[in-house]
Amino acid sequence: MKKTLKRLKRDFFNRSTLTVAKELLGKVLVFNDYQGVITETEAYMGFDDPASHAFRGKTKRTEVMFGKPGFSYVYLIYGMYYCLNFVTEEEGFPAAVLIRGLRVFDPKTQKEIHLNGPGKLCRYLGITREHNAIDIVRDKHFYVGCIRQSMQFKTTPRIGIKVGQDKPWRFVSEELKERNPK
DNA sequence: ACCCCGATCGTA
DNA sequence: ACGATCGGGGTT
């Protein structure tokens, strides 16, 4: 019996970024033939968050962060990895949630694997710059669905940043048996 | 035109 | 602990 997967609508993303980041844990990311449970997220938001790409104002790259909630924000980091975010909050307020961890069923090994890390996650799924600024509330092959309620999680500072470490805006699912990255 | 450096990862 | 690798964004 297949569980029904209810797609998250615009209203889900049009809320406080911290709320969206926490509630995305346990939700199902659908990307083409892949489905995975989100296990780790980080929030980047507003004009007062120095770690956010939008901190210094709107640019070509960060434009989508200022746009409507429910769009993807994909960028290249360190010249070799992509990172996937979902835009949150009302249009004009720059904010997004970084997807850092995913449990997926690997068709090759027939085993569930844990993609821990935003770069590894995008590399495995095949997410690139072409998948930036996609409306994941409307797209047929790229969206987020819900099969269960909420998950237990812990809260920590964000990873890999030199500023904004005072903000505990990383959320990690407690159901993980694997060690935490870093 | 130039330069610095990053929301990472794998190897040492 | 460090190198790979390159585009974004600030500065000249």
Burial class (CB in 10 A: 0-12, 13-18, 19+), A65: buried
CA distance readout (Å), A103 to A107, A112, A153: 13, 7, 15
The alpha carbon of A70 is separated from its chain's Cα centroid by a whole number of angstroms, namely 11
Q: Is the pLDDT at A152 greater than 90, yes or no?
A: yes
Q: Which residue is nearest to nucleotide C6 (CA to C1')?
A: A79
pLDDT (tens digit, 9 = 90+) per residue, A60-104? 999 999 999 999 999 999 999 999 999 999 999 999 999 999 999
In 3-state terms, what secondary structure has residue A181? coil
The answer to whether A79 CB sits below 7 Å from nucleic acid chain C is yes
pLDDT (tens digit, 9 = 90+) per residue, A24-47? 999 999 999 999 999 999 999 999
pTM: 0.94
Spanning CA of A24 to C1' of B9, the rounded length in angstroms is 24
The answer to whether A59 CB sits below 7 Å from nucleic acid chain C is yes
Show Cβ contacts of residue A92 under 8 Å, excluding neighbours closer than 6 positions.
Answer: A66
* Nucleotide with smallest C1' distance to residue A53 CA: B7
Bases along strand B below 7 A from a protein CB: 6-10
